[in-house]
Structure 1
Amino acid sequence: MKDQILNKATEMFLTLGFKSVTMDDIASEMGISKKTIYQHFSNKDNLVKDATTNLFENISCGIDEIILADKDPIEELFTIKEFVMQHLKDENTSPIYQLQKYYPKIHKSLMIKQFDKMGTCVIDNLEKGIQLGLFRKDIRKELISRFYFAGMTSIKDVELFNPKEFSSKTVQSCYLEYHLRGICTPKGTIQLETIINTNK
Structure 2
Amino acid sequence: MKEKILDKATDMFLTYGFKSITMDDLANEMGISKKTIYTHFENKTKLVENCMDHLSQNISAGITRICTLNKNPIEELYEIKKFVMVNLKDEKSSPQYQLQKYYPKIYKTINQRQFELMQECVKDNMQRGINQGYYRDNLNISFVSRIYFSGVTSIKDPQLFPIEKFPIKTLMDDYLEYHIRGIVTPSGRKVLNEIINSNHE
Identify whether the pair has TM-score above 0.5, normalized to the shorter chain: yes
Count of residues in Structure 1 that have an aligned counterpart in Structure 2? 200
What is the CA–CA distance in structure 2 between the aligned matches of 1:93 and 1:170, rounded to whole Å? 16
**Equivalent pair of 2:15/2:93 in contact (CA under 8 Å):** no
List runs of 5+ in structure 2 lacking aligned partners.
none
Matched, 1:83 2:70: no
What is the DSSP-based 3-state SS (H/G/I as helix, E as strand, rest coil) of the residue aligned with 1:90?
helix
Matched, 1:197 2:190: no
Partner of 1:13: 13
CA displacement, residues 130-177 of structure 1 (integer Å, 9 cap, x when unaligned): 000000000000010000000000010001111111100010000000
Q: How does 1:36-55 map to 2 (within 5 A)?
A: 36-55=36-55
Counterpart of 2:187, as a letter, is K
- In the TM superposition, what is the alpha-carbon distance from 1:178 to its structure 2 partner? 0.4
- In the TM superposition, what is the alpha-carbon distance from 1:93 to its structure 2 partner? 4.4
Counterpart of 2:44, as a letter, is K
What is the CA–CA distance in structure 1 between the aligned matches of 2:115 and 2:76, rounded to whole Å? 18
Partner of 1:162: 162
Matched, 1:171 2:165: no
TM-score normalised over the length of structure 1: 0.98
Partner of 1:66: 66
TM-score normalised over the length of structure 2: 0.98
What is the CA–CA distance in structure 2 between the aligned matches of 1:122 and 1:98, rounded to whole Å? 26
List runs of 5+ in structure 1 lacking aligned partners.
none
CA displacement, residues 94-123 of structure 1 (integer Å, 9 cap, x when unaligned): 222211110011011110000000000000
Matched, 1:130 2:164: no
Counterpart of 2:16, as a letter, is L
What is the CA–CA distance in structure 1 between the aligned matches of 2:81 and 2:89, rounded to whole Å? 12
The 1:198/1:149 distance shift into structure 2, 3 A limit, reads: same
**Equivalent pair of 2:16/2:93 in contact (CA under 8 Å):** no
- In the TM superposition, what is the alpha-carbon distance from 1:64 to its structure 2 partner? 1.0
- In the TM superposition, what is the alpha-carbon distance from 1:68 to its structure 2 partner? 1.1
**Equivalent pair of 2:135/2:183 in contact (CA under 8 Å):** yes
What is the CA–CA distance in structure 2 between the aligned matches of 1:21 and 1:99, rounded to whole Å? 13
Q: RMSD of the alignment, in Å?
A: 0.7
**Equivalent pair of 2:10/2:55 in contact (CA under 8 Å):** yes
Partner of 2:142: 142
The 1:93/1:188 distance shift into structure 2, 3 A limit, reads: farther
